[in-house]
Chain A
Amino acid sequence: MKKVVSVLSIITLLALILTLAPANVLAQDEVTCESDVVVQADDWLSKIADKFFGDVLTFPAIFEATNAKAAADDSYATIADANLIEPGWKLCIPTAEYAQVILGVGVEAPTSAESIQIPTIVEGMTNVAFVYVGHIGDGGWTYAHNEGRRYLEANLENVNTAYLESVPEGADAERVIRNLARQGFDVIFTTSFGYMDPTGVVAEEFPDTAFVHISGQKKNATNFGNVFGAMEEMKYMAGMVAGAKAAEDGSNRVGIIAPFPIAEVIRLSNAAALGMRRTCPDCVMDIRWIFTWFDPVKEREAAESMLDAGATVIITGADTPGPVQAAGERGFTGLAYDSSNACLGLEAVCLGVPYWNWGPIYADIVNGVRDGTWVPEDYYGSTADGLLGFYGFMECQEPYPSVPASVIPEMQDVLGQMQAGTFNRFTMFTGPINDNQGNEVIPAGVSLSQSDLEGLSEGYMSAFSIEGREPCTICMGYLVEGFDSTAEIPPLN
């Protein structure tokens, strides 16, 4: 009997795994088009996918196959954004086997829970590796970086990319980064704050490899740079639309979800409040600190908490679009974060998404490394550099239907100034600005410095041995006027 049971359970389990797991048998470079398709007006990718494969979810296969094909044959279109295809484009409908491989994901760099396998390089190509803190399926931060990686694949010739997901920050990260460098990757992007020191350590050991860290401030003179950007500009846009919507709702109350009381989050929240006050001087911003970047239940409950307190627009600074969904279920609206398609499926109740557009800066860096012109920088990009976007207002996008029509011209105007560089983070944070208790924090005519914006105190900089910056004088430790007077910044520890 016991034997029977055990045999049965093994069979069941195998059956489950076999039916669920697609076979990863083909190499990815063998793209054979079953047929070609020319995009018609009113087509979209998942519609075409449904037509050929009987499943809307197979659209990534067409996306990948067409881009792979386009690299060799430019009669095929290059799809930068799966949500956006144009009439007249020629698409490649791959064979079913190829589609299976694509949909079976993780083909480029298989990882497993027990051990992280280091991907291999391709001789004769520029090899670029990415270290991700989350999974590419997070729909947020890591997803946006992976879109940047795909941009590289689609737009640069002779580039081979690989990625590693869910790499823990700390000692594991250092080991992974070192192994990637040893493997011979030419450029290594490490995409989480906690990779800053490990990346710096490995950069010293491999002077011929270029290391680029995202969201930190450290660099060296030869092969270690960092990249981050002025998301505050897009959060200002978020605040503008939120304020206009709350005024239209008659609530005059906006809620913002803040993950951690760190300078970055405080800066972004302040920018949203400044934007809100621009379009709705009477509006009040509520805030909930959730002490996590990712917890679907907590993010949603934070939204519910503020909706219960009277807010009708929710801006989230955390990873999931759950708060937008929660607002939508009550007939209100919200704004998601991080990646351009965060509001996919929530268009009716979404006001926009401040998002990261990593592709172009990645491409610049990789091209620079190839030409030997790349110099490590403490790079802080802005809307003017194309690093950031606000979904609904960038090229080829339409504002979501819930965006109040009256605010669209002003937002387009502000966006235009940001793109021209005439309105930026420094003009945004120019005094007089008071805190939410009415005390003046930025005197009239004074603009914050970069270190002020990043809240870089002397202690912080010595802890991370960051050089070349002055310590902040007006450090990012206040909530601006516009926040509810009961709102406070909790201590971090």
Chain B
Amino acid sequence: MELASLVFIVNIIGAGLRTGTPLLFATLGEIITERSGVLNLGVEGMMLAGALAGFAVSYGTGNPWFGVMAGMLAGGTLSLLNGLVAITLRGDQVVSGLALTFVGRGLTSVLGVAYVQIREVPRLPTVRLPFMYDVPLIGPNILWPLFGEQNIVLYLGFLLVPAVWFWVERTRPGLHLRAVGEKPAAADAVGINVAAQRYLYVFVGGAFAGLAGASLSLAITPLWIDDMTAGQGWIAVGLVIFAGWNPWRAVLGAYIFGALRRLPLDLQAVGWLPFASNPILGVWLEMIPYLFTIVALIFSSREAIRKRLGAPAALGIPYIRGERGA
């Protein structure tokens, strides 16, 4: 392959890995939450909480890892609000999730003002893997630019995907998680505490969203700016459906989506391509996550569609002990 086109492709894939990583974290978190039967549309709000908490704590303590922990705690804590409505109060999860988005945006907007002027925040480190360069043939032009020198959150993403998959699909606690999401009545009958399980995974999902936010504000776009996630939480909600609640497919979705955000930009510099098609491509790309979100809202009320897409059977349905059909 010609070197120029190789560079072109590698650049786009590299951007996909970079900008797809926060999406990946948020998507994994939402998958975990939804597999336990709770729909949380507040990913955007939790990401913002994580981004601000991460940024502020990293700035305050000088240690970005404390920032990451604070971000996860903030996202997780905020998610309990949705848990409260969805699990204990048995309210409408769509409404509470939307409300959570507003809470997260409003809260971070007010609390974050003091941080807007700050740029020199301790960031998450970049990892250098020099041996990537020495791999024969594909080393210098493919492996090195993609994996040789990237922020540590990328590698964290590579590790978390198999970890989440293993936990959900291959462990006993993971079986409980799936049980409360698929057939909470049966889970209850064998002595699993449905509410506690769901609270746990709502919190975990929120913590992942917080991690996504912190990885933005401490690594990918290292700034705090009001509303800085700019809709990425919704993209994550949409990607869950694209991924069919499967962590492996979430990887694909997140990285492809990241790459697709970069592709139209690079195509603008390609002389022989008629530009007219590009903005339209861009507009359609921007629409995808929202279309997915609409699909999410539709199928959460349609039994047949849920089944076909592979959604957890009890997703979005509050569990009431003894009620028929639960």
Q: Which chain A residues have a beta carbon within 8 Å of chain B's beta carbons?
A: 1-2, 5-6, 9-10, 12-13, 16-17, 20-21, 57, 60, 103-106, 112-114, 134-139, 143, 166, 261, 286-292, 294-298, 300-302, 304-306, 308-309, 319-322, 325, 341, 344-346, 484-488, 490-492
Contact = CB atoms under 8 A, between A and B. Distances in A.
Contact of A57 (B15, B110, B114): B114
A296 B230 contact: yes
A21 B225 contact: no
B262 A305 contact: yes
B83 A9 contact: yes
A319 B230 CA distance: 12
A298 B228 contact: no
A303 to B, nearest CB: 10
A321 B265 contact: no
A321 B279 contact: no
Given A5-B88, A301-B262, A112 B230 contact: no
B261 A297 contact: yes
B303 interface: no
B225 A320 contact: yes
Contacts of B275: 488, 490
Nearest to A10: B84
Interface in B73-103: 74, 77-78, 80-81, 83-84, 87-89, 102-103
A297 B225 contact: no
B274 to A, nearest CB: 9
B282 A291 contact: yes
A6 B265 contact: no
B107 A20 contact: yes
B19 interface: yes
B195 interface: yes
B227 A294 contact: yes
A197 B88 CA distance: 47
B221 A296 contact: yes
A305 B266 contact: yes
B52 to A, nearest CB: 10
Given A2-B88, A345-B119, A491-B279, A137 B15 contact: no
A295 to B, nearest CB: 4
Nearest to B269: A309
Nearest to B275: A488
A114 to B, nearest CB: 8
Nearest to B228: A296
A310 B87 CA distance: 54
Nearest to A2: B195
A486 B271 contact: yes
Contacts of A57: 114-115, 118
Contact of A291 (B7, B81, B196, B279): B279
Contacts of B105: 113
B279 A5 contact: no
Chain A CB within 10 Å, residue with most, of B112, B270, B282: B282
Contacts of A485: 271
B114 A60 contact: yes
A159 to B, nearest CB: 23
Interface in B275-300: 275-276, 278-279, 282-283, 286
B276 A341 contact: no
Nearest to B268: A288
In the A-B complex, the 3 residue pairs with the smallest Cβ-Cβ separation, listed nearest first, are: A345-B119, A486-B271, A6-B88
A293 to B, nearest CB: 10
B125 to A, nearest CB: 13
Nearest to A309: B269
B25 to A, nearest CB: 14
B113 interface: yes
Nearest to A15: B77
A143 B279 CA distance: 29
A113 B106 contact: yes
B28 interface: no
B116 to A, nearest CB: 5
Nearest to B10: A308
B19 A296 contact: no
B193 interface: yes
A295 B230 contact: yes
B118 to A, nearest CB: 6
